[in-house]
Amino acid sequence: MKLNKHLLSAAVAMAFASSAHAAVSENNDDVMIQGFHWHSASSGDWYQQVGHQVNELSDAGFDMVWLPPASQAGSLEGYLPEQYNNLNSNYGTEQDLRDLIAALHGKGIKAIADIVINHRNGSGSWCDFVNPDWGHDAITSDDEAWGAPGSNCTGTRGAADSGGGYDAARDIDHSQFYVRDSLKTWMNTVLKGVGFDGWRYDYVKGYWGGYNGEYNNATSPYFSVGEYWTSLCYNGEGCFFGGEYPDSHRQLQIDWVDSTGGNSAVFDFTTKGILNKVLETYDYSHLTDGNGNPQGTIGAWPSRSVTFVDNHDTGPSEMCGNGQSHWPVPCDKVMQAYAYILTHPGVPSVYWAHYFDWGLGEQIKQLMQVRRDAGLHSDSSISIERAEQGLYAAYIGDKLAMKMGNKNWSPSGTGWSVTASGTDWAIWTKGDQPGDWQRTVILVEGQTESGQDMFIRGGIDHTYAANVLGRNCTETNYACAMPIRHLNLKNETTAPWKANDSYLDWYGTESGQSSAAEGSAADWTIDQWPADWGAEKTVAVDGYGVEVLNVYGAHYWMLDVEMDCSKAVDGVWFELKTYISNGPGWEADVAQSGAPYASGNHFAQCGKVNVFKRSVSEPVSIHNF
């Protein structure tokens, strides 16, 4: 679905149709990495340094590497190009570049060139263009160089700028046929000659996007993406001069893609800017638009959206606080942002500095693997369940769910398993997940009266899990919970409380679970039904009453589940405590002997029948079925 897609003029549409080539695809499952940061050019041998990481890039599963501007330039970083045809730059020699791209191709990785064609530096003066040679009419008529002190711009001017101006260099007039022809030749022979496969267009708001469409049609890139960066304001807040609210900000990007004939993607600066905001405030309501879609370009035209956390302009370089850092995601929230872009639609782009300099490579690699295993791509379906203060939760595709924020949430239904997690984020996947699912029964004697019910909570101690199991449960609570599937859904009273109860945990109501539930609901059982009580009720038929596993007496409440024993301590042990509603509340602490670690809770064994009495330390019995 695209927002307000504008029709192209007939003349432009015909020009595109003459040699149309889609430089983007639907259902694109590629992941790109920006292969440099703002300080990379200072090394002088950057191409060689990237070459040393080719095996890691391949192992991680990157499909594309966006490389820095390759041409000789009047600036260290390459963004004031002078001699387009000279590929010896501050990043290395042309041969270094050829060797790097050959190494990438050897691993099946595409090389994306940074194309800086909004503006150009003169060689030795303001307006002298060599290699390739252009006249002064290649400069837009409203460029600041005309008539400026010290400028040598004379003669026939080009046409007026078709986009925004750029003061640091001369704005190129793309309406000149010979200029466009020269750029196409450079891209097709020089850049493709060293092996480049696609294009990242710099500063595309500086000229009409139809020219990008023409360049793509003439060069048939594997992939194309434009940098259309404008100021973003946030809903509900004052909008500073020149800024756009999210809907309008997104529409500008969609309009630019339309102007290319739809054959280029665009960097999703709307999503990036909103992530900046919500990761500071935890007000995740900004992440959804009025129609329940993601607020960024991924919610409007996901196959044309390249999502990212930071890049060489917006973020730091080797460490937090250095580099450009013009518009960074909060440094301590970077992985939460990657959890978002690597699970959501669009084509994700990872920042080199985050992966290699910040020590986040293994975590990002894990998220990339989760994305692949779940079969996600640029057009994956998304259903946003919660977007509010403290919580964002969504289902993506048919077997992945994720949440961000400091509120508890877990996906509804059974079969979900936490596959990746970090501070204030978690990802669940569903399907053929590894695990050791075994029937597990808990019977706990607790005297109750009419209107009182027993609930059970449990899991593994967070400190023990961190120190002994290497499991961080403070970042994702459910990493210390026990996944369960209820086997008894026949009790009309407790069945509604069991719906969407996927974990034996310490945290209260799960997402979608009844607010009346105080944990995992147990069912009242007895060993023999008194004759004066009327018709016998049984667990097998009614969901409560006589139960064959209860040979102990009345008021033994039973939790009967399948449980993933792979999550237990040593594949065996887990803790539990009972709560009786409408009266007694929590049972007292106990001190069970033979437990794997000290705790005030009962210890049960996964895959067995576990029998306890409330507030009594030693179990009545733990035995096999």
Tokens 């984020």 belong to 425
Residues of the chain with pLDDT under 50: 1-21
Q: Residue 264's pLDDT is what? A: 98
Are 35 and 66 in contact by the 8 Å Cβ rule? The answer is yes
Closest to 247 (Cα-Cα) out of 461, 22, 3: 3
Q: For 370-393, what is the HEC assignment? A: HHHHCCCCCCCCEEEEEEEECEEE
Q: Residue 19's pLDDT is what? A: 38
How far is residue 56's CA from residue 335's CA, in Å, rounded to a whole number? 19
How far is residue 417's CA from residue 221's CA, in Å, rounded to a whole number? 39
Instruction: Please give the structure tokens belonging to residue 105.
Output: 């191709």
Tens-digit pLDDT profile for residues 533-579: 999 999 998 999 999 999 999 999 999 999 999 999 999 999 999 99
Instruction: Please give the structure tokens belonging to residue 119.
Output: 């503006």
Active-site residue numbers? Answer: 202, 227
| Helix, coil or strand: residue 441 | strand
Given phi > 0 = left and psi -120 to 50 = alpha, else beta, which region is 563?
Answer: beta
Domains of the chain: 29-227 (3.20.20.80), 388-430 (2.60.40.1180), 437-623 (no CATH)
Distances (CA, A) of 452 to 29, 471, 500, 518: 52, 36, 22, 12
Q: Residue 417's pLDDT is what? A: 80
Q: For 128-166, what is the HEC assignment? A: CECCCCECHHHECCCCCCCCCCCCCCCCCCCCCCCCCCC
Are 516 and 540 in contact by the 8 Å Cβ rule? The answer is no
pTM above 0.75, yes or no: no
Instruction: Please give the structure tokens belonging to residue 57.
Output: 């890039």
Q: Residue 508's pLDDT is what? A: 82
